[in-house]
Structures are given as structure tokens and as C-alpha cells.
Amino acid sequence: MLAPVAVPAPSFTAVLFGLSGCLVDFGAQARTLRSGDGNALQSQDAQSFAIPTPGALAALNNLRQQGIPCAWIEEHPAHIAEQLAAPLQGLIQPTPSPNNHWPAPDACWQALMTLNAAQLDGCVLVSGDPRLLMAGLNAGLWTVGLASCGPLCGLSPAKWEALSDLERERLRGRATLELYACGAHSVIDHLGELESCLADISLRRLKAEKP
């Protein structure tokens, strides 16, 4: 009897990322640069928040080695987004600010066009922001939520580390439930767990599951 032939897991077409609260700016602190009416404060400087989150650079390097194109999406004005993205140059494509705000799918489609993605099948969005995840769902993408480093926990790295393990677990658990409630297909703590999460999505796709 012939041994069953292993079917390779389908490759990913593209991976999109949120910028603030995902790739950089743990806790999405750059939102404090916006005034109460939602307008950016020109005098403020986002460079202090331009620090990669745990696992971000390793995740981008891993995707680059696999030949999977990536782009970031951000709702902040261009001058803030450019400062935040500075540590990521050369590893990921930027996407211009969308005309329509999340959860409209335009930003995701615009990012995929920037990458010249040939199809929606196999496209993934990673973010800690429920509105961006809903935009990804509206665009027909697989979605991965980030529990600890996005706006739902919303704490700076120093404040996050100052919490007790119990307090961190409580905030992480609440964020996880909210991300699943908005429709995320998977939720991980941070980008250091992305590789195993994408492997799980590959298996789900192999079983003909659709986003």
C-alpha cells in the first residue's frame, strides 16, 4: 500500500500589519499626540514611540526570508506614521493613509495594491486595534489580533512591566475576549508568537477553511 503523500501547506500571498500598537509603539501611545478633536498636534514628536514591539523585527525578517510581501497600515497623519515607521525601513512597505477610516476595507485593499498582490486568498492582517481588524474582515482577509501591545491594554512598556503577573493576565484576557468578539480568527500576545499562529492558519487553509 502506498504511503499517503504529504500535501504542503498553502503559502501566504501577503501579510499586512498595523503600525502603532503592533509593529512599533507598544500600547499605541502615539494616540496621545492627537488633540481632543482628533487632529494631530504638530508640535509633538512621535520618535519616542518609534520602538519595535517584542518580536516585530524577527517576524518581519522571517517573512522576508520566506518571500512573503508585507505592508503596514496606519490611520495617523503621514508625519507621525513616518516617524513611527523609521526603525522598520527596508523590512516592510508603507501604505498611504486611507481616504476612508476603519473599519472600511479601503486601507487593506490599498495596501494589497501597493504590494501588487494578485489575490485575496492567503492574505492576512495583524493588528491590536479592533477597528483595523474589522477592516480586514470587511476586506476578506484572515485576521490575527494582538492582545498586549495594542490600544485595548493601552499601557506603555514601563507601565506594562510594572504590573503584577495577575494584573497583566487580567488585561490580556479582557483584550483577547474583545478581539475575538470583533471577529479575529486568532489572537496572540505579541509578534513573537506570529510564526506559530501563521502555521495554524496554514493548516486551517489546508482544510479548506475560509476567512
Ordered domains of the chain (ranges, CATH): 14-33+44-206 (3.40.50.1000)
* Count of alpha carbons within 13 angstroms of residue 151, beta-carbon side: 14
From its phi and psi, is residue 166 left (phi > 0), alpha (psi between -120 and 50) or beta? alpha
Res 42 pLDDT > 70: no
Q: What CA–CA distances, in Å, run from 202 to 44, 161, 192, 198?
A: 42, 33, 18, 6
Res 7 pLDDT > 80: no
Q: What is the mean pLDDT of residues 161-176?
A: 97
Q: What is the mean pLDDT of residues 119-129?
A: 97
**Span 70-112, pLDDT tens digits:** 999 999 888 899 999 999 988 999 997 777 789 999 999 999 9
pLDDT the model gives residue 8: 59
Phi, psi (degrees; rounded to nearest 5) at 158: -65, -45
pLDDT the model gives residue 98: 72
Phi, psi (degrees; rounded to nearest 5) at 33: -80, 0
Q: What CA–CA distances, in Å, run from 25 to 1, 28, 42, 103, 198?
A: 56, 5, 18, 21, 23
Phi, psi (degrees; rounded to nearest 5) at 79: -70, -30
Rounded CA gap, 50 and 24, in Å? 6
Do 188 and 201 meet the contact criterion of CB atoms below 8 Å apart?
no
Q: What is the mean pLDDT of residues 19-23?
A: 97
| Portion of the chain with pLDDT greater than 70, in percent | 90
| Portion of the chain with pLDDT greater than 90, in percent | 80
Which of 91, 94, 84, 88 is CA-nearest to residue 49?
84
Q: List, in sequence order, every residue forming a beta bridge with 125; answer none if it has no partner.
A: 16, 143
Lowest mean pLDDT among 48-57, 95-104, 143-152: 95-104
Res 31 pLDDT > 90: no
Res 64 pLDDT > 60: yes
**Span 172-201, pLDDT tens digits:** 999 999 999 999 999 999 999 999 999 999
User: pLDDT tier at 160 (50, 70, 90 boundaries)?
Assistant: very high
* Stated length of the chain: 211
Computed over every residue of the chain, the mean pLDDT equals 90
